[in-house]
Amino acid sequence: SRIKALLSAPTTHIVTFTVTEKGYCRKADGGLDLTLAAGGFYPLLAEALAARKAAGIGGLTLLSCDNLADNGHQLKRLMGEYLAAHHPDLVDWVAAHCTFPCSMVDRIVPSTTDADRAEVEGLLALRDEGVVMTEPFSQWVIEDSFAGPRPAWEAVGAQIVADVAPYETAKLRMLNGAHSALAYCGLAAGYTYVHQAVGDPALRDMALRLMREEAAPTIPAPEGMDLAAYAAALIERFDNPALNHRLIQIAMDGSQKIPQRWLATLAANQAQGRSCPAILSAIAAWIKHLRGQNGPLDDPRAAELSEVAQNAEPVPGLFGPNGLIESDWVPNSAEVALIMEGLAR
């Protein structure tokens, strides 16, 4: 195939991955699901790596750009599991000749609609079926770990750093954490878009509390990173009415997103004896989402988690206006415990 030929070419030095969280074909315990992996990128990449080894043309920088904590390390581990099962002769060669830098990409990108395509066609007098609508802001942070030559990305705004973790943690726990909370709580309150949800004073306060009081204290910010300013900037980005970022898009695949977006923050706060009412509101709204309140559930673990949510005992009087919990609540109800257990498996 053309893709395999490009991956195998001596002129190719870097391969980037944007396959979404579920594209990594992980099992509930984080390991590789070999059955799912057979239909993903793993076989194609393994064949190309085998061809490079045979031709003696060197390895590749395999750069994950997906929204996963330690994305490069995860890709390295998962690819290693695939090779151990199907190409054990490549394991040592890949370890010696390929690198898996971590990265963090931050730009809000709503799903493109027919209206977007029509608007662009009107502006350009050309039809672009692949048009992508984005916000003005963009950030790309890349670990300085390359197997060979690379473009001078830092000359056009990318940040090449020794450790991506603080930037990634801030994005996952603050931006993505607030985004998911606004998605589930906003849908419960009857909103369609992010800017509508964050325009609701109660939901706005919830998102700010999640970022400033619950997530920020758990993040080891490097020198020069102002997390309070970051939270304020995020709210401004969420307010952008031109994006029309659908809450239902953010709400999809929650089982793949929630552990790193909410549960890591929740665990860090619980270890310090602090409560997280904003995240608990979001978890409560997510449970309602799992029960089908917002339409058909779009999640790779939909059947399993919706059954858990349907069968769990409801928490009486849990929800107040705007889908938020009305009073202090700790995640020890049978309902939430079962959901958490389901995610942890």
CATH number, domain containing residue 150: 3.40.50.720
Neighbours of 5 (CB within 10 A): 11
**Claim to verify: residue 256 and residue 300 sit in the same structural domain:** yes
At residue 267, the pLDDT reads 82
| Confidence grade of residue 209 (pLDDT, cut at 50, 70, 90) | very high
At residue 219, the pLDDT reads 93
| Confidence grade of residue 312 (pLDDT, cut at 50, 70, 90) | low
C-beta separation of 180 from 127 below 8 A: no
At residue 184, the pLDDT reads 96
Conformational region of residue 125, where left means phi above 0, alpha means psi within -120 to 50, and beta covers everything else: left
Domain annotation covers residue 126: no
The runs of H, that is alpha helices, within the chain are: 2-8, 34-37, 42-55, 71-86, 91-97, 114-124, 165-170, 177-188, 194-198, 201-209, 227-238, 247-251, 254-258, 264-271, 277-290, 302-311, 334-344
| Confidence grade of residue 305 (pLDDT, cut at 50, 70, 90) | confident
At residue 68, the pLDDT reads 83
**Claim to verify: residue 143 and residue 184 sit in the same structural domain:** no
Give me the DSSP letters along 27-77.
-TTSSB-HHHHTTSSHHHHHHHHHHHHHHT----EEEE-SS-TTHHHHHHH
> Which residue type sits at 44?
L
Q: Could you report the per-residue pLDDT of 142-165, keeping only the tens digit for each?
A: 999 999 999 999 999 999 999 999
The residue with greater pLDDT, 274 or 56, is 56
**Claim to verify: residue 89 and residue 197 sit in the same structural domain:** no
At residue 53, the pLDDT reads 97
**Claim to verify: residue 19 and residue 86 sit in the same structural domain:** yes
At residue 324, the pLDDT reads 45
**Claim to verify: residue 74 and residue 206 sit in the same structural domain:** no
Q: Could you report the per-residue pLDDT of 234-245, keeping only the tens digit for each?
A: 999 999 998 889
**Computed from CA positions of residues 203, 204, 209, 215, in that sequence, does the dihedral angle turn out positive or negative?**
positive
**Is residue 328 over pLDDT 60?**
no
At residue 189, the pLDDT reads 94
**Claim to verify: residue 12 and residue 143 sit in the same structural domain:** yes
**CATH code of residue 331:** 1.10.1040.10
The residue with greater pLDDT, 314 or 67, is 67
Q: Could you report the per-residue pLDDT of 8-65, keeping only the tens digit for each?
A: 999 999 999 999 888 999 987 889 999 999 999 999 999 999 999 999 999 999 999 9
Domain annotation covers residue 276: yes
At residue 336, the pLDDT reads 54
**Claim to verify: residue 143 and residue 175 sit in the same structural domain:** no
Conformational region of residue 294, where left means phi above 0, alpha means psi within -120 to 50, and beta covers everything else: alpha
**Is residue 331 over pLDDT 50?**
no
Among 130, 155, 180, the domain-final residue is 155
**Claim to verify: residue 10 and residue 86 sit in the same structural domain:** yes
Among 96, 126, 155, the domain-final residue is 155
Q: Could you report the per-residue pLDDT of 95-143, keeping only the tens digit for each?
A: 999 999 999 999 988 889 999 999 999 999 999 999 999 999 999 999 9
**Is residue 322 over pLDDT 60?**
no
Domain annotation covers residue 115: no
**Claim to verify: residue 80 and residue 223 sit in the same structural domain:** no
Percent of the chain with pLDDT over 90: 67
**Claim to verify: residue 146 and residue 221 sit in the same structural domain:** no
At residue 313, the pLDDT reads 53
**Claim to verify: residue 73 and residue 183 sit in the same structural domain:** no
For residues 207-217, give the mean pLDDT.
Answer: 97
At residue 14, the pLDDT reads 98
Number of structural domains (the chain) is: 2
Q: Which residue has the tokens 């909370």?
A: 181
C-beta separation of 305 from 296 below 8 A: no
Domain annotation covers residue 123: no
- Look up the domain containing 56 and give its range: 2-106+138-155
